[in-house]
Structure 1
Amino acid sequence: MSSVSEGRFTSSFVPSITRTARRTTLLTGDGVRIEAVYTPCTPGSAAGVDGGSAGTAIVVAHGFTGSVDRPAVRRAAEVFSQRAAVITFSFRGHGRSGGRSTVGDREVLDLAAAVAWARSLGHRRIVTVGFSMGGSVVLRHAALYTAQDVPDPVGTDSTAGAGRVGRRAGAHAGRTEAHTDAVVSVSAPARWYYRGTAPMRRLHWVVTRPAGRIVGRYGFRTRIDRKDWDPVPLSPVEAVPLIAPAPLLIVHGDQDPYFPLDHPRMLAEAARGTAELWLERGMGHAENAADESLLTRIADWTASA
């Protein structure tokens, strides 16, 4: 799963906030076509009828094997649309999107294309909300795409081909227009290659073995890149310190079968007091375990962050 240099992405441009739902195809910086869906803010909702609170759009990044049409993703979009406009999309290798999944590496380019599309539709404030794999992607995306061109204190990073060589942002066209203003990471890992739970050992088999990738393709409708990461992307815990001053919310269930509680605690500690941590009692993993009450509270946080 080798990284490639980031390039320009394309998306349709609309000068003002649209009030109608639409489905489109975005082109990422490395040329992958990504399906995306725009859901306007619900008329008469608490956020008003002007496209959401101050023109806010929430961009939802699903977990591994998800897509825009999965019920859990649609449920999240419906709840979030009561507070803001919502963009959902299918990561590469998922749903009707092209390419192959790199399980969190080049997916940063997919999220960047979706965020930039939200801005092209007229939204002034963007909040990214990611689940599981998408949770790791929103963290790395926020660290790599910023509102200003500033020096990168870390040096190099493979990230999704973002070509992070001595710059945190602005090294390539499109970085600043694809930045996020606030971040919510739900059920995300803190570190790569974790195999400490049975579900994660099974997931590694699906990703790394030829037979597993066949299961992924036909059983989970997810096309997986057979190549290893080269180089290894910036890990979520390494990305977190680079996100401030953007507000960050970390959400994790205490019954998560994939990642135990040391993962969210590690992420929160890496934020050095700049992140809010919610440990949800009885919650399992990612969007499938996020009920309407939790989604509503997340939506409320995005409006006030």
Structure 2
Amino acid sequence: MRTRTLAASVAAAGALALAPGFALARLLHRAGFDPAADRLPAPFSVRITAIAPGRVTLRRGTEGLPGAHLEPGHYLLEAARGLARLGPVRETNGVVAIRDFEPLSGDIRPGDFARLDPFAFPGDPREAHGIAFEEVAIPAPLGEFPAWYIPGSRDTGAVMVHAKGANRRETLRLLPLLVEAGFPALAITYRNDDGCPPSPHGRYSYGRDEYEELEAAARWALDRGARRLLLVGYSMGGAIALSFIERSDLAHRAAAFILDAPMLDFASCVAHGARQRRIPLRYLAVSNRIAARRYGFRWDDFDHRRTALDLQAPVLLFHGDADPVIPVELSDALAAARPDIVRYVRTPGAGHIRSWNVDPEGYADAVRDFLRTLD
């Protein structure tokens, strides 16, 4: 009887010790691997309290993270009945913020709830910038994937890869600069995007598998006259670009990179998130093993730091020092290790993929200077 009681006590203690690991593994799956979580619409996190010519007053709404109305930079303000351009904070007392404001469409009124869209421009290249484009379908192993294509005069084609849970609109901040410089541009989609073929296992794989869609897009661009490739990657899109370099037979065609807050190592991002949530990092030693076993991956598959360090083509690298998703230290380390190829723009006060939003003029200047080196 005593032996059975002791064994039961040990088993219960073991289960109790593992409980945080299982809970964190489930949280990791929902936040990091499940595309369905990214398809939920962003909450209307701010409330419009007053509108005056060229100005809008915002305060915290009833949903979403506090302080969204104080986010620095330029955004698209999306309300239920209209859209507007939202500029920097001009005045604030920490409770309300007065910001630059330019109505675009619809009827936005005081009392409406709204959200800040970091992609900053609505619709597609034509609606956002008056840029003519073609809607094309890229054939890939899992099926056809839609893309925007804008022809250009250069023989280097730009292929643009958005972040996890985002869409092609993310590229609209950079796209006019590529078109201005004459680069053919292809803004692609990939597995698990809304309306696209899903991955067989239904989860993100941080470039390990998604590189196939980039490879298919690269082949499509090369078949239409491009001789070299400029790969543009946002967050997980950067991981996809690096996985392409690791795995694709077309990797030698990559002549340059523009990477914005690239996801160089997913395990570091998980630890970064745990620190912000005040979760003891010792729990990750258990939860990361449980997640890898339960969801069938290796953490090494999501570590692209070695590939980034071994690049032989020029890189323009952006990262905000207030990034809550991907630790800026990953980009710091890459820039410090490879100053021979990396031009690094470390943006003060910018959150995740917000370097353009915080400083669009500085962003544009850096991109133009970099593109001139590719002549």
Using the size of structure 2 for normalisation, the TM-score is 0.52
Helix, strand or coil for the counterpart of 1:181?
strand
Q: Shift of the alpha carbon at 1:31? A: 2.9
Question: 1:62 corresponds to which residue?
Answer: 162
Distance in 2 (alpha carbons) for counterparts of 1:200 and 1:130: 26
Question: 1:38 corresponds to which residue?
Answer: 149
Letter aligned with residue 133 of structure 2:
A
Letter aligned with residue 151 of structure 2:
P
Q: Residue 207 of structure 2 contacts residue 242 of structure 2 at CA under 8 Å; is this kept in 1?
A: no
Report matched runs for 1:13-32 at 5 Å.
21-28=133-140, 30-32=141-143
Distance in 1 (alpha carbons) for counterparts of 2:299 and 2:329: 26
Question: 1:196 corresponds to which residue?
Answer: 271
Flag the structure with higher helix content. Answer: 2
Q: Shift of the alpha carbon at 1:64? A: 0.7
Question: 1:241 corresponds to which residue?
Answer: 309
CA RMSD after TM alignment = 3.0
Identify the match of residue 188 of structure 2 among 89, 105, 108: 89
Question: 1:115 corresponds to which residue?
Answer: 218
Q: Shift of the alpha carbon at 1:58? A: 1.4
Return closer, same or farther for 1:98/1:200 CA change in 2, 3 Å cut-off.
farther
Question: 2:119 corresponds to which residue?
Answer: none
Stretch moving more, 125-134 or 227-236? 227-236
Structure 1 alignment gaps of length 5 or more: 2-18, 42-50, 146-174, 203-225
Distance in 2 (alpha carbons) for counterparts of 1:243 and 1:130: 15
Q: Residue 34 of structure 1 contacts residue 89 of structure 1 at CA under 8 Å; is this kept in 2?
A: yes
Identity over aligned residues, as a percent?
20
Q: Shift of the alpha carbon at 1:63? A: 0.5
Helix, strand or coil for the counterpart of 1:97?
coil
Distance in 1 (alpha carbons) for counterparts of 2:164 and 2:224: 27
Q: Residue 238 of structure 1 contacts residue 270 of structure 1 at CA under 8 Å; is this kept in 2?
A: no
Flag the structure with higher strand content. Answer: 2
Letter aligned with residue 132 of structure 1:
S
Distance in 2 (alpha carbons) for counterparts of 1:126 and 1:192: 25
Return closer, same or farther for 1:108/1:247 CA change in 2, 3 Å cut-off.
same
Q: Shift of the alpha carbon at 1:256? A: 1.4
More contact order relative to length (CA 8 Å, sep ≥ 6): 1
Question: 1:264 corresponds to which residue?
Answer: 331
Question: 2:321 corresponds to which residue?
Answer: 254
Deviations 1:241-298 (A, max 9, x none): 3321x22222211121212321102223454743232212232212x55244314532
Q: Residue 240 of structure 1 contacts residue 270 of structure 1 at CA under 8 Å; is this kept in 2?
A: no
Q: Does 1:185 align with 2:250?
A: no
Q: Residue 112 of structure 1 contacts residue 179 of structure 1 at CA under 8 Å; is this kept in 2?
A: no
Helix, strand or coil for the counterpart of 2:343?
strand
Return closer, same or farther for 1:103/1:190 CA change in 2, 3 Å cut-off.
closer
Question: 1:78 corresponds to which residue?
Answer: 176
Identify the match of residue 344 of structure 2 among 251, 263, 277: 277
Return closer, same or farther for 1:235/1:197 CA change in 2, 3 Å cut-off.
closer
- Aligned residue-pair number: 220
Distance in 2 (alpha carbons) for counterparts of 1:185 and 1:127: 11
Q: Residue 138 of structure 1 contacts residue 184 of structure 1 at CA under 8 Å; is this kept in 2?
A: no
Letter aligned with residue 237 of structure 2:
G
Helix, strand or coil for the counterpart of 2:345?
strand
Distance in 2 (alpha carbons) for counterparts of 1:132 and 1:258: 9
Using the size of structure 1 for normalisation, the TM-score is 0.62
Q: Which has the larger radius of gyration?
A: 2
Q: Shift of the alpha carbon at 1:33? A: 2.6
Helix, strand or coil for the counterpart of 1:196?
helix
Structure 2 alignment gaps of length 5 or more: 1-28, 30-130, 278-293
Distance in 2 (alpha carbons) for counterparts of 1:201 and 1:136: 23
Distance in 1 (alpha carbons) for counterparts of 2:266 and 2:238: 13
Q: Shift of the alpha carbon at 1:200? A: 9.4
Report matched runs for 1:140-179 at 5 Å.
140-145=243-248, 175-176=249-250, 179=253
Letter aligned with residue 327 of structure 2:
P
Distance in 2 (alpha carbons) for counterparts of 1:296 and 1:32: 38
Report matched runs for 1:220-235 at 5 Å.
227-230=295-298, 232-233=300-301, 235=303
Q: Residue 347 of structure 2 contacts residue 355 of structure 2 at CA under 8 Å; is this kept in 1?
A: no
Q: Shift of the alpha carbon at 1:22? A: 1.6
Q: Shift of the alpha carbon at 1:236? A: 1.8
